[in-house]
Amino acid sequence: MIKSKAYYVWLCTSMPSRDQSTAADLTPLSPAVFHILLSLGEGERHGYAIKREIAARTLGKLKLGPGVLYGSINKMLELGLIEESADRPDPHLDDERRRYYRITAYGRKVAQAEALRMRELVQLAASRFGVPRHA
């Protein structure tokens, strides 16, 4: 039970929020989340289109199953990295059951923080092991 009204106000206002945390606080991202952000960086997409774009871009090296795809999307919605779009294509051209998603400004910042983290990691690996001509 909460002891006082003042404590309750302090507790609610001192809890970290998405606005107070930095984008780097969410790194490292899972490969699925980072690739979904990359996909939505090009524009709005529905889940299946995200899945196809990632598979095509990675030449089939990353194939997201429905559990990972929609589990990641739901977590990203909760974190404010993406949002559901109210804009819909013409119902004659698209399935009305589809949900479309877009990246948020915060999602872009998190993707940038992850890209920076990865670049620093690659630089460290290159300094330790060199860079092979062909991977």
CATH number for the segment(s) 26-129: 1.10.10.10
Answer for the pair 117, 28: CB distance below 8 angstroms, yes or no. Answer: yes
Q: pLDDT digit string (tens) for 23-41?
A: 999 999 999 999 999 999 9
SS3 of 78-112: HHCCEEECCCCCCCCCCCCCCCEEEECHHHHHHHH
Residue of 31 and 12 predicted with greater confidence: 31
Q: Which helix (H) or strand (E) holds 46?
A: strand 45-46
Residue among 115, 111, 43 at smallest CA distance from 79: 111
Is the confidence at residue 74, as pLDDT, over 60?
A: yes
Output the pLDDT for position 20: 46
Residue among 19, 31, 20, 17 at smallest CA distance from 114: 31
Q: pLDDT digit string (tens) for 77-131?
A: 999 999 999 876 666 666 777 899 999 999 999 999 999 999 999 999 999 999 8
pLDDT confidence bin for 62, thresholds 50/70/90: very high
Chain-centre distance for alpha carbon 54: 13
* Count of other CB atoms within 10 angstroms of residue 12: 8
Output the pLDDT for position 5: 56
pTM: 0.79
Beta bridge mates, 42 = none
Distance CA 34, CA 32 (A): 6
Output the pLDDT for position 67: 97
* Count of other CB atoms within 10 angstroms of residue 10: 11
